[in-house]
Amino acid sequence: MSEGTPGTAALVPPPEEPTLLGLHEMELNFGPQHPATHGVLRVVLKVDGERIVSARPDVGYLHRGTEKLFETETYPMVIPHTDRMDYVAAATNNHAYCLAVEKILGVEVPKRAQYIRVLLDEMQRVSSHLLWLATAAIDLGAITPFFYTFREREVILDLFEEYCGARLTLNCMRIGGLPVDLTPGWVERTQAFFETLEAKIDEYEDLLTENRIWKERTVGIGVLAADRCVAWGVTGPVLRAAGVAWDVRRALPYECYPELEFDIPVGKNADTYDRYLVRVAELRQSRRIALQCCDWLAKNPEGEIRGKVPRVIKPAAGMAYASVEAPKGELGFFLVSSGANKPYRLHVRAPSFVNLQSLPEMIRGHLVSDLVAVIGTYDIVLGEVDR
């Protein structure tokens, strides 16, 4: 990614007079055990003093062969494995996979199931962004947001546990709908939580938005302009912080999103600080969507939650691609069916993996300590990068 590709030749600075040690550049390994790499990411850096000349992300330390594993499992058995890709946002993973299979089967999902799915997605987005806020802030030395965001995240995880029985690896969607209906009182509790969330988000903003230490570490760091984002295929908050209002929920609508009102927050400066602002604004928009879903579900407490799906799922030979707006960006599943009860091929377009490719360009010229901020700003989950 660094040496061979055209365009990166400019990264190598012109030869200079040798220093005392006879070296200008030093190769430095960052990770894979470094706590700020959010998992097992290894970045091979070429540093000139404290300044990064080039960076090469070395992925694969968490590779589990999930895509190959998909080919050995029948369609319903794949769902628990998708939980384990982006393990802090399992609901969106389930959703994207189920959408792909529903597309190839031509199954209609009942309205109530659509609203519950969207509500689960938005709860997952809030929980994922809260986790991002906690870890990104702790990487840059702000420990307090960690405690506050985890308090709210705990409420969401409890709600997930009450609905589907698990907190992290949810396995909460099925092909054609949902496994179980909501428990009594769940919608009211979810609504009550989202009512209080707005004040909590203000609290996080009090801690960080105007904080001069936070601004010193993030403003102007890791700038990736809109055209470069598009060139790298970057999606999600990183792209929106560059001013491109691309959101799969609006651009390629799925489920009941066209019926819901929400804005797409965009940034201006395409730096780490703007990405923080975009994510905080997305928390507020997710809250807005979730409250609309709660209203709808409170008005429609009864209804089908599963479409007409055959007992043995055997789609006709063909292909389908379905994507959702995951907390990290566009998460897509490309499914090739050969007519058997197992996928012939199931490729995952993982947002973390695609976004991470732009790291060498984003970090060039920055200091080593900024690398921590930049890795944090991507919101990568290595389970999804390596799969």
Amino acid at 293: C
Angle between helix 111-139 and helix 186-208 axes, rounded to 10 deg: 30
When the beta carbons of 72 and 300 are compared against another protein, the nearer one is 72
Kindly state the smallest distance separating residue 312's Cβ from another protein, in Å. Answer: 11
When the beta carbons of 164 and 359 are compared against another protein, the nearer one is 164
The number of helices, as runs of H, and strands, as runs of E, in the chain is 15, 6
Amino acid at 214: W
CB neighbour burial string for 277-316, b if at least 16 within 10 angstroms, e if fewer: bbbbbbbbbbbbbbbbbbebbeeeeeeebbbebeeebebe
When the beta carbons of 79 and 278 are compared against another protein, the nearer one is 79
Kindly state the smallest distance separating residue 163's Cβ from another protein, in Å. Answer: 7
Separation of alpha carbons 378 and 373, rounded Å: 9
Kindly state the smallest distance separating residue 352's Cβ from another protein, in Å. Answer: 21
In degrees rounded to 5, what are phi and psi of residue 358? -85, 5
Kindly state the smallest distance separating residue 85's Cβ from another protein, in Å. Answer: 13
Strands (E), the chain: 26-30, 42-48, 51-58, 318-326, 329-337, 345-349
Kindly state the smallest distance separating residue 96's Cβ from another protein, in Å. Answer: 17
List Cβ neighbours of 254 (8 Å cut-off, separation of 6 or more): 99, 248, 322, 323, 324
Separation of alpha carbons 245 and 131, rounded Å: 23
When the beta carbons of 183 and 300 are compared against another protein, the nearer one is 183
Kindly state the smallest distance separating residue 332's Cβ from another protein, in Å. Answer: 22
Kindly state the smallest distance separating residue 340's Cβ from another protein, in Å. Answer: 16
| Triad 165, 349, 312: Cα angle to 5° | 55
Query: Do residues 261 and 250 lie in contact, with contact meaning Cβ atoms separated by under 8 Å?
Result: no
Nearest to 382 by CA among 14, 135, 161, 192: 135
When the beta carbons of 141 and 318 are compared against another protein, the nearer one is 141
Token pair, residue 108, equals: 């209609």
Kindly state the smallest distance separating residue 201's Cβ from another protein, in Å. Answer: 12
Q: Which residues of this chain interact with another protein, rule CB under 8 A?
A: 73, 76-81, 83-84, 144, 148, 151, 154, 158, 161-166, 169, 171, 179-180, 183, 203, 206-208, 210-213
